[in-house]
Amino acid sequence: MLSTDRPVAPELVAATLAGDAFDLGEGAARPTLVYFFAPWCHYCAFSSDNLNRLRQWRDEDDLRIITVALDWKSVAEVRDYAEKHELTMPVLLGDTAIAQDWRVYGFPTYYVLDSNNRVVRRDIGYSTQLGLLWRSWAVD
């Protein structure tokens, strides 16, 4: 996993499932939760509802939540996952270069970034709603 003493998180530029371009470095500076998942991952499926609840608890202006699909075979597979789990946040179509840059070796992997895109918290594996809330709380 990425270190928390790193000056800034790696670049994250990818197409979204909706067909838009996304660049982590663009937009208003605010804390961000980056959630890496694989459509076939059962732990990721269990975590998806927790992400949706976190979105309800934390306003978009306070916390940006980005999901990144990795290890997928088709866009349809990612779309089916996003629809099944009713993901309410952007879904990026990641690739092996993004996985390597962000050191994602298991699913799900979470990174919490501060408003300067520095990694302040990180984890791998299933996280409860309260775990996600705690990890994303008090980040400037």
Spans of all domains in the chain: 13-136
- pLDDT tens per residue, range 102-116: 999 999 999 999 999
Confidence label for 5 from pLDDT (cuts 50, 70 and 90): confident
Residue 37 DSSP code: E
Q: Domain 13-136 carries which CATH code?
A: 3.40.30.10
Residue 8 DSSP code: S
CB 136 within 8 A of CB 112: yes
Q: Cα 36 to the chain's mean position, in Å?
A: 5
pLDDT of residue 140 exceeding 70: no
pLDDT of residue 13 exceeding 80: yes
Instruction: From 80, 55, 50, select the one nearest 65 (Cα to Cα).
Output: 55
At 59 the pLDDT is 84
At 80 the pLDDT is 98
> The pTM is what?
0.93
